[in-house]
């Protein structure tokens, strides 16, 4: 019984300690923003490996998600004779929810895991300690560019996902299923509000980007420097990211769309 309580206390302290380390680490990384302005090359390199290399995955996923939404939506809407609302349905679900959330989940799998593995391996091979020996702050030099590149790429990727998804819905709805294209666009435009829907979706994607990259770089930096430790950290990074995305999505939705 006593050992049970001891274990509980141990876990709690471990959790709080990790949270504290994460906070210190992230604030430290944020102070690296000034260095990034002086050396934008670091950011560009990370934008390439985080953003550009994710474009194809995001675009193809977005296309298929939009197409499936149109197919499924058409089946339901045609029962009510409301096929013209297909555009609204596809666009609303993409702009408000699926765009940011699915992009963030894919992003966590594609870029987040790579970040964790990369940083974890740097730690395991003592590259980070080596940098410290040379009086280079590894958090500012390695972590900050990745954190900012991830936070910047995510909204762009989410916007791409949404746009490609709407086009996919258009191809299936108008091209394949024969919904008239006039109401498809006009109903969408009258129902989707710029501030209430698009901007809120955009805010969501920025938050998700920061959360996913924050978790990924911290898990990598905090990994046990062994092969097994890095592999565990990579798994944790993806799992925690998924939880954080879905949890913060609920909170953000309640805050922004609750009215």
Partner 1 sequence: MQVTRTTEIWVGAFVALGLVALFFVSMQVSNLGDFKSTRGSYVLKAHFGNVGGLKVRAPVSMAGVTLGRVEKITFDTGRYEALVEMRIEPSYKQLPEDTSASILTAGLLGEQYIGLSAGGSDDYLKDGDEIELTQSAVILEQLISKLMFNKAEEGKTDTKKASHDAPALTTPVTSSTAKAAQASEMAPVAPVVPEGSATPPAAKAEDVGGQKKIKPRSGRVTHKSAAPKQTPAPEHHSTARDGHATKKKAH
Interface positions with partner 1 (CB under 8 A): 41, 44-45, 47-49, 51-52, 55, 91, 95, 153, 155-157, 159-160, 162-164, 166, 185, 188-190, 192-194, 197-198, 201-202
Q: Which is nearer to partner 1, 143 or 157 (CB)?
A: 157
Nearest approach in angstroms of CB 82 to partner 1 is 12
Indicate the helix (H) or strand (E) that contains 199: none
Distance of closest approach, residue 18 Cβ to partner 1, in angstroms: 29
Between CA 220 and CA 228, with CA 225 as vertex, the angle to 5 degrees is: 90
Closest distance between partner 1 and the C-beta of residue 31, in Å?
A: 23
Spatial neighbors of 157 by CB under 8 A, at least 6 apart, are 51, 54, 55, 58, 103, 107, 205
Least separation in angstroms between residue 154's CB and partner 1 is: 10
Based on CB atoms, which residue is closest to partner 1, 67 or 240? 67
Measured CA angle at 214 (ends 208, 215), to 5 deg = 95
Structure tokens at 63: 């296309």
Decide whether 32 or 169 has the Cβ nearer to partner 1: 169
Token readout for 147 is: 């954190």
Angle at 158 (CA atoms; ends 153, 159), nearest 5 degrees: 100
CB nearer to partner 1: pick between 49 and 253: 49
- Nearest approach in angstroms of CB 8 to partner 1 is 44
In the complex with partner 1, which residue's Cβ is closer, 46 or 240? 46
Q: How far is CA 125 from CA 77, 103, 134, in A?
A: 57, 32, 16
């Amino acid at each position: 019984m006593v050992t049970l309580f001891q274990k509980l206390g141990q876990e709690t302290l471990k959790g709080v300690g990790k949270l504290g380390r994460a906070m210190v680490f992230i604030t430290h990384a944020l102070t690296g923003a000034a260095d990034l302005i002086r050396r934008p090359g670091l950011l560009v390199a990370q934008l390439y490996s985080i953003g550009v290399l994710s474009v194809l995955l995001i675009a193809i996923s977005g296309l298929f998600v939009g197409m499936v939404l149109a197919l499924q939506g058409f089946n339901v809407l045609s029962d009510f004779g409301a096929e013209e609302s297909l555009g609204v349905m596809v666009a609303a679900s993409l702009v408000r929810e699926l765009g940011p959330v699915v992009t963030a989940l894919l992003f966590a799998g594609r870029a987040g895991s790579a970040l964790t593995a990369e940083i974890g391996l740097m730690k395991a091979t003592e590259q980070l300690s080596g940098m410290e020996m040379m009086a280079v702050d590894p958090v500012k030099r390695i972590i900050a560019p990745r954190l900012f590149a991830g936070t910047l790429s995510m909204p762009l990727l989410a916007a791409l996902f949404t746009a490609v998804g709407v086009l996919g819905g258009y191809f299936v709805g108008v091209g394949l299923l024969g919904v008239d294209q006039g109401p498809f666009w006009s109903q969408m435009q009258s129902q989707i509000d710029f501030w209430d829907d698009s901007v809120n979706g955009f805010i969501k994607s920025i938050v998700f980007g920061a959360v996913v990259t924050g978790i990924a770089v911290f898990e990598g930096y905090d990994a046990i420097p062994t092969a097994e430790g890095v592999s565990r950290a990579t798994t944790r990074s993806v799992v925690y990211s998924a939880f954080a995305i879905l949890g913060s999505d609920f909170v953000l939705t309640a805050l922004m769309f609750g009215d």
